Structure 1
Amino acid sequence: MISLKNGLYFYQGNNFAKQLCTKAARSKYKCDFGSKKALGQPTPYTHPHLLGENEVTPMIKKEEYQCRRQKLLELISDYSLKNNAPSKNHMIVVPAATKQYMSDKIPYIFRQNSDFLYLTGFQEPDTCVVITSTQSPGGHRTTLFTRDRDNHAELWDGPRTHPEDAPEFFGVDQSLPISELPNFMASFRKSSSCVNLWYDFESKVNMETANTVRDYLKDSGNKNFDSPRNFIHKLRLYKSPAEIALMQRSCDIAAKSIVETMSFSRPGIGENQLFAKVDYECRARGAEFLAYPPVVAGGNRATIIHYINNNQLVYGNELVLMDAGCEYHGYASDITRTWPVNGKFTDCQREIYEVVLEVQKELIQLCAKMPSLDTLFECMCLLLGRKLQEIGIVGVQPSDNYIMKAAYQLCPHHVSHYLGMDVHDTPSISRNIKIEPGMVITIEPGIYISEKSSVPKQYHGIGVRIEDDVLITVNGPVVLSRKCPKEIDEIESIVCEGMTKS
């Protein structure tokens, strides 16, 4: 359940779903879960601890998915009218991801295509959704294509969702086997004459669907096609109350897991052990898996921005830089913390850490003015440069341009990206637009001083990054990852107390 409190949305847990486990509660709430047969993903009947009434995925009801599809069609229709498209008939095809194999018959963990998941909530591979629109009454229809029946495959891999079960659960108009996709597309073309086709050929998530669409274009001679990707990303950029609740939970899980990993730290520990600890803690709290290969970098390896080998030992007075997040029912968190493995920052480490922390806090406050992400990056360079001048790492020069270039040498990455279903979310959206309420972004300044750097030698090998996930609201920025401590005293206390207990 979701409630409104101080202008923010909060999820009140799964108590409602748990109450539905009993026959009396089902009768009291008059819940209709439809067929009690198992589908190819969790349902309120099979997983009442996860899903409440009418929820397709935890916290997201089928009505929200229907609304998303309607909004997508409206965006595309408006765009087509403004650009004098040759037809008012549209066919939007969005594929599911396909199952990938690491070796013979051994699959990788399946992760759904985010755009497809956003529009349907459907978790099965090798499927497809087609949204069609004509000018006739009731011309807007959603057709969900499910995998063909295969009793042998279901014996090995579990149940699939079949066409007769999909409309009620997913809120679509109709459902067909995926083998019928070519016939469906050809039939729609014949009934609607000129059709604007929307398909993202740049995405390689499912080559079989892509080939079906190419064959359709070849057979029909249709040259009116474009990608729906940017339109879907425009919708995904603004998070609904349910999405905010899911992202808050994802951040809470990752934050607590990183704190537990800090407490687990001690001199001589392996980066791989810290990796395993944060992975375990996230999964134990309900996350499906980590949102990306984490950075667990000890000592001078923290100056390698995307270090993911995680196979060295961390000794003595070295720092640990951990960049980790998890996926919780389709939504990602992305947090970075840096801490001393022995529980005490050295003077030089403290100086660098304080610079990064002060800059990060100022940038978060600046979000209230709704700048663009590129503007935040420019501000980061200027703020970092000035503060590094104050401690003598950057030479004293009056030019802002000089200061920013010097800072960029020590922090050669952007300070922010959009966050949501993907870690680097909605990549088709420019970072040069002003942020608005409903968006979630990261704020992640850092300083990386390699052993080849020209700065004073006592700072060599120090790498610090502090990253938080920030919801933009009309009342100012809200740090979703606020439960992960970043003040020096708190961090030292957590690590020291952990070593005392071990």
Structure 2
Amino acid sequence: MFENKNKYLADEVATQPLRNPVSGETHKAARAYRLQRVRQQLKAVDCAAILLYDPVNIRYATDTSNMQVWTLHNYARYALVFADGPVVLFEFHNCEHLHQGNELLDEIRPAINWSYFGAGSRIGEKALAWADDIQAVIRQHAGDKVRLAVDKVDLEGLDLLREAGLTLIEGHSLMEQARRIKSPAELELMRWTIAVCERGIQRMHGALRPGMTENELWAWLHYENVRHGGEWIETRLLASGPRTNPWMQESSDRVMQEGEIVCFDTDLIGPYGYCADISRAWTVGHVSPSTEQRKLYRLAHEQVQHNMALLRPGLSHREFVEQSWDIPPAYWHNRYCCVVHGVGLVDEYPALAHKGADWASSGYDGVFEENMVLCVESYIGEQGGKEGIKLEQQVLITANGCEALSRYPWQTDWL
């Protein structure tokens, strides 16, 4: 797809949609593996089932999707997954037809929405009906007074489930552990999402002109994601010129000027619900960088490459952080929030703090394993500086180290 020296396909070629290489059998294998991972985690902590409300967790366990962003803040659908028993989806009003052909689902029941949006002044009544419904299904398939994991639910609901004799276990960490190790089929789905994301990046690169707004540029990433069956983008992290320092400013109607730095972080949830999390930096108009821009880019690239070279199975989080690239003091204040983080359907466990005081306050140990997928992060921008550089690479931990999953090129002529 990409030519040498950061020159890309002609616009008329880039406008053609990509062909989806993922087979139906690969998709089925990925969903079966994920359900197996959830059940393994349930058995490891002696839980009869898990109640899922987070739409990402529901997607992981059941491979169902319905209004994903809306249900992040409207608790209108949920699922019960049993360690030894059925998968029961409680779906939004009249949406059962969305999941025809999904072999993971044993039963679809109507959800009872007892949030204020759905229930108003009848919250208490609706919550009681919800708790009775949950208890009935658990009693039918696992008996009374069992251990139930829950990823998230409002306080009143937790109290009602406890009053029914259920022992509740924190379930969000259980799901993060399940999602941690990817199967070969999952990696095929993720590679397709990354290809879609890179097509969006390519369109942005080709469209970038002085005089356009940040929002106009950012729209191309959404366009390519949606037309290839992708789902949403978690942030709007694209900034130009003085808005690149400090980082974390989202795209705006600012008009970009020739020669300025433009950086972005895709945070793209693409086809099949997988995440492509990639950051690159260019100059507006693709002109040669200034000496200062080149220096910032070289340091950010060096940080990413140094930390990628450390990653391998069996390395502990602490060992990795201790050996990670030393951020020069001038850039420490504006450092990125983590050194690396996991990624799957979205950003996932682990998220590793920098060495020193950051590790002392927020670090936690663990071990990298084969088939974990990580994003290696860098932000280099001096406090009070004119611009900064954000870079990020998505990688797979293999038996021999790590493999870059993104093929989108760096600005090698800046190094």
State TM-score, norm by structure 1: 0.63
Distance 1:431 1:369, change over 3 A: same
CA distance in structure 1 between the aligned counterparts of 2:370 and 2:103, rounded to whole angstroms: 29
Cα deviation, residue 270, structure 1 = 1.2
1:82 alignment partner in structure 2? none
1:128 aligns with 2:85: no
Distance 1:298 1:63, change over 3 A: closer
Alignment of 1:486-501 (within 5 A): 486-489=410-413
1:279 alignment partner in structure 2? 222
Q: Secondary structure at the match of 1:467?
A: strand
Confirm or deny: 8 A CA contact 1:62 1:169 kept in the other structure: no
CA distance in structure 2 between the aligned counterparts of 1:342 and 1:297, rounded to whole angstroms: 15
Alignment of 1:149-188 (within 5 A): 154=94, 159-161=95-97, 169-178=102-111, 182-183=132-133, 185-186=135-136, 188=138
1:72 aligns with 2:41: yes
Confirm or deny: 8 A CA contact 1:128 1:145 kept in the other structure: yes
CA distance in structure 2 between the aligned counterparts of 1:69 and 1:443, rounded to whole angstroms: 26
The one-character-per-residue Cα deviations of 1:203-259 (angstroms, maximum 9, x if unpaired) are 35xx4xx745532322x355x321122222111011111211111112222123212
Confirm or deny: 8 A CA contact 2:308 2:376 kept in the other structure: yes
Alignment of 1:85-124 (within 5 A): 90-96=47-53, 113-124=55-66
CA distance in structure 2 between the aligned counterparts of 1:187 and 1:63, rounded to whole angstroms: 22
Q: Secondary structure at the match of 2:50?
A: strand
2:248 alignment partner in structure 1? 306
CA distance in structure 2 between the aligned counterparts of 1:422 and 1:276, rounded to whole angstroms: 20
CA distance in structure 2 between the aligned counterparts of 1:427 and 1:170, rounded to whole angstroms: 33
Q: Secondary structure at the match of 1:466?
A: strand
Distance 1:377 1:60, change over 3 A: same
1:446 aligns with 2:376: no
Confirm or deny: 8 A CA contact 2:213 2:254 kept in the other structure: yes
Structure 2's unaligned 5+ residue stretches are 1-18, 113-128, 353-361
Alignment of 1:387-402 (within 5 A): none
Confirm or deny: 8 A CA contact 1:63 1:171 kept in the other structure: yes
Q: Secondary structure at the match of 1:225?
A: strand
Which of 282, 292, 303 is residue 348 of structure 1 equivalent to? 292
2:162 alignment partner in structure 1? 217
Confirm or deny: 8 A CA contact 1:62 1:170 kept in the other structure: no
2:14 alignment partner in structure 1? none
Report the AA paired with residue 197 of structure 2: A
Distance 1:214 1:305, change over 3 A: same
CA distance in structure 2 between the aligned counterparts of 1:118 and 1:269, rounded to whole angstroms: 39
CA distance in structure 2 between the aligned counterparts of 1:376 and 1:294, rounded to whole angstroms: 30
Report the AA paired with residue 231 of structure 1: L
Q: Secondary structure at the match of 1:436?
A: coil
CA distance in structure 2 between the aligned counterparts of 1:301 and 1:273, rounded to whole angstroms: 16
1:462 aligns with 2:398: no
CA distance in structure 1 between the aligned counterparts of 2:22 and 2:319, rounded to whole angstroms: 43
CA distance in structure 1 between the aligned counterparts of 2:376 and 2:409, rounded to whole angstroms: 15
CA distance in structure 1 between the aligned counterparts of 2:405 and 2:137, rounded to whole angstroms: 48
State TM-score, norm by structure 2: 0.76
Cα deviation, residue 339, structure 1 = 0.8
Confirm or deny: 8 A CA contact 2:313 2:367 kept in the other structure: no
Confirm or deny: 8 A CA contact 2:377 2:391 kept in the other structure: yes
CA distance in structure 1 between the aligned counterparts of 2:48 and 2:232, rounded to whole angstroms: 34
Distance 1:417 1:187, change over 3 A: closer
Report the AA paired with residue 150 of structure 2: Y
CA distance in structure 2 between the aligned counterparts of 1:121 and 1:217, rounded to whole angstroms: 29
Q: Secondary structure at the match of 2:204?
A: helix
CA distance in structure 2 between the aligned counterparts of 1:320 and 1:61, rounded to whole angstroms: 36
Which of 400, 407, 413 is residue 475 of structure 1 equivalent to? 400
Confirm or deny: 8 A CA contact 1:91 1:130 kept in the other structure: no
1:415 alignment partner in structure 2? 339
Which of 432, 455, 458 is residue 365 of structure 2 equivalent to? 432
Q: Secondary structure at the match of 1:273?
A: helix
Q: Secondary structure at the match of 1:470?
A: strand
The one-character-per-residue Cα deviations of 1:388-415 (angstroms, maximum 9, x if unpaired) are xxxxxxxxxxxxxxxxx55422425322
Aligned structure 1 segments of 4 or more residues deviating by more than 6 angstroms: 426-430
The one-character-per-residue Cα deviations of 1:18-43 (angstroms, maximum 9, x if unpaired) are xxxxxxxxxxxxxxxxxxxxxxxxxx
Cα deviation, residue 288, structure 1 = 2.2
Confirm or deny: 8 A CA contact 1:374 1:432 kept in the other structure: yes
Confirm or deny: 8 A CA contact 1:468 1:479 kept in the other structure: yes
Equivalent pairs counted in the alignment come to 361
1:362 alignment partner in structure 2? 306
Cα deviation, residue 15, structure 1 = 6.8
Q: Secondary structure at the match of 1:437?
A: coil
Confirm or deny: 8 A CA contact 1:371 1:434 kept in the other structure: yes
Cα deviation, residue 358, structure 1 = 2.2
2:212 alignment partner in structure 1? 269
CA distance in structure 2 between the aligned counterparts of 1:60 and 1:426, rounded to whole angstroms: 25
Cα deviation, residue 131, structure 1 = 3.7
CA distance in structure 2 between the aligned counterparts of 1:350 and 1:284, rounded to whole angstroms: 35
Confirm or deny: 8 A CA contact 1:380 1:445 kept in the other structure: no
Cα deviation, residue 374, structure 1 = 5.3
1:323 aligns with 2:278: no
Distance 1:171 1:320, change over 3 A: closer
Q: Secondary structure at the match of 1:266?
A: coil
Q: Secondary structure at the match of 1:258?
A: helix
Confirm or deny: 8 A CA contact 2:279 2:393 kept in the other structure: yes
1:194 alignment partner in structure 2? 145
Q: Secondary structure at the match of 1:119?
A: helix
Cα deviation, residue 303, structure 1 = 1.0
Report the AA paired with residue 192 of structure 1: G
Alignment of 1:43-54 (within 5 A): 52=24
Confirm or deny: 8 A CA contact 1:377 1:416 kept in the other structure: no
Q: Secondary structure at the match of 1:198?
A: strand
Cα deviation, residue 488, structure 1 = 3.3
Q: Over aligned residue pairs, what C-alpha RMSD do you find?
A: 3.3
Q: Secondary structure at the match of 1:461?
A: coil
